[in-house]
Amino acid sequence: MILEKKKIFNDFAASKGLRSTRQRDIILDIFLSTRQHVSVEELYLKIKASNPGIGHATVYRTLKLFSEAGLAREILLHDGQTRYEHAVAGEHHDHLVCTGCNSIIEFEDETIEKLQKDIAARHGFLIKNHKLEIYGLCAACRQ
């Protein structure tokens, strides 16, 4: 599964004429080993621990490439930090975001997805992507 993701990135890189670099390999390894919804800064710090040379700009640039390659999805919650999650082709989910403990619950709902398509169709709108985030308190934070 990790090898599969590395192959996806290599294929993407090849198709775009990108070079294979030590930095990209390291960042991909570490990204694949993190939990979901990691912030760029969290990832940068984790990378720096084992690879002090790698800079902020490279981490930002490389995560954008992972998004383009379909390996990662950018998540913008309401805390001013861009986060990334592991993406799988053809799969999609949305988020319940706890404002108490910052935990995130993922969910999928086919009916909601279908209704979104209906709404778009009704307006002659072509969907590229969407975000559905439900903010509130998780079971633990409700006390």
Partner DNA sequence: TATGCTTTTGACATTCATTTTCAGTTAGTT
Partner DNA sequence: AACTAACTGAAAATGAATGTCAAAAGCATA
- Binding residues (CB under 8 A) for a second copy: these are 76, 78, 96, 98-99, 105, 107, 109, 111-112, 115-116, 119-120, 123-139, 142
Q: Is the CB of 3 or the CB of 126 nearer to a second copy?
A: 126
Q: Does 130 bind DNA (CB under 7 A)?
A: no
Q: How far is CA 84 from CA 33, 87, 119, in A?
A: 13, 9, 28
101's contact among Mn ion, Zn ion, a second copy, none, with CB below 5 to 8 A by partner kind, is Zn ion
Distance in Å, CB of 142 to a second copy, minimum: 5
85's contact among DNA, Mn ion, a second copy, none, with CB below 5 to 8 A by partner kind, is Mn ion
Distance CA 111, CA 117 (A): 10
Q: How far is CA 95 from CA 68, 83, 125, 135, in A?
A: 21, 13, 24, 8
Q: Which one among 7, 56, 114, 131 touches DNA, defined by CB under 7 A? A: 56
Q: How many CB atoms lie within 10 A of CB 132?
A: 13
Nearest to 29 by CA among 62, 60, 70: 62
- Number of residues this chain uses to bind Mn ion (CB under 5 A): 2
Sign of CA dihedral 91, 67, 84, 9: positive
Distance in Å, CB of 19 to a second copy, minimum: 29
Q: Does 39 bind DNA (CB under 7 A)?
A: yes
Site for DNA, rule CB under 7 A: 13, 17-24, 39-41, 53-58, 60-62, 64, 80-82
